[in-house]
Amino acid sequence: MEMKLAPSMLSADFAHLSEDLRNAMQPGVSYLHVDVMDGNFVPNISFGPPVIRCVRRILPEAVLDVHMMVQEPKRFVNDYQRLGVDMLTVHAEATDDLEGTLQSIRADGMKCGAAVSPGTPVSVLEKVLPICDMVLVMSVIPGFGGQSLIPGTLDKIRELVRLREEKGLGYDIEIDGGVNLSNLDEVLDSGVNVIVAGSAIFGGESIPRNVQDFLERMEGKCC
């Protein structure tokens, strides 16, 4: 599987969003990770369509990986398609119709992902794995950037790697939350291939330097 880096714009400085995003989306960076929070599925509100429309204008070529932390996300699938979103990931815990939601994302021509919060077992995804382009494993409680990675969540990645092999499937596995340069090697050893990083990329002295450090460490790794 190809290794991919996805900076999470939740940790950008919204007072100069375009500058931060251009600094983060260096050559070699695969996706921009976009966290949509509704204040209901998670106890926080981030941003929605008006901001994403501007991001699409600033970065017309970027692959937008939208992580919907929203209750009943099926209501919004069509809106996000019209915004030019490439990939829409929804939480297993946020709907009783995960399969139907993923199918409607695909029907709208976007790639689809299914996400699990730390307390949710991988088994809830078993039925939908064949239609997933990506599975997102939350390694922190969803809702806020800057938390510490919960180590036990890496076992879920190993399980997803095993299931992918067993079933002959091709989904990407994305980890989201608390990844930084200190735990990156351990994270990569789990077999994950899409790395989301928010505070570790937008924090510190230099966004381009942070991105380069991540890319260098990920180069040559495969899973």
Catalytic residues: 35, 176
- Closer to ligand DX5 by Cβ: residue 133 or 174: 174
Tell which one of 10, 187, 211, 218 touches ligand DX5 (CB under 6 A).
10
> Binds 120, which of Zn ion, ligand DX5, none (CB < 5 to 8 A, cut-off by type)?
none
Tell which one of 93, 199, 213, 215 touches ligand DX5 (CB under 6 A).
199
- Closer to Zn ion by Cβ: residue 117 or 210: 117
Counting every residue, how long is the chain?
Answer: 223
Backbone torsions φ then ψ of 140, nearest 5 degrees: -140, 170
Q: How far is the CB of 102 from ligand DX5 (least distance, A)?
A: 19
Q: How far is the CB of 134 from ligand DX5 (least distance, A)?
A: 14
Amino acid found at 115: A
81 interacts with ligand DX5 by CB under 6 A: no
- Who contacts 197 (Cβ-Cβ below 8 Å, separation ≥6)? 5, 6, 7, 8, 179, 180, 214
CB neighbours of residue 100 within 10 Å: 12
Which pair of structure tokens corresponds to residue 15? 């007072």
Tell which one of 3, 6, 30, 35 touches Zn ion (CB under 5 A).
35
Q: Of 99-158, which residues contact ligand DX5 (CB under 6 A)?
A: 140, 142-147
Report the alpha-carbon distance of residue 207 to residue 82 in Å, rounded: 30
Window 49-68: contact mask with Zn ion (x via CB under 5 A): ------------------x-
Q: Which of 95, 18, 97, 90 is nearest to 60 (CA)?
A: 18
CB neighbours of residue 59 within 10 Å: 16
Q: Minimal CB distance to ligand DX5: which residue?
A: 198
- Residue 193, burial from CB neighbour count under 10 angstroms (0-12, 13-18, 19+): buried
Give contact residues for Zn ion (rule: CB under 5 A).
35, 67, 176
Give contact residues for ligand DX5 (rule: CB under 6 A).
8, 10-11, 33, 35, 67, 140, 142-147, 176-179, 196-200
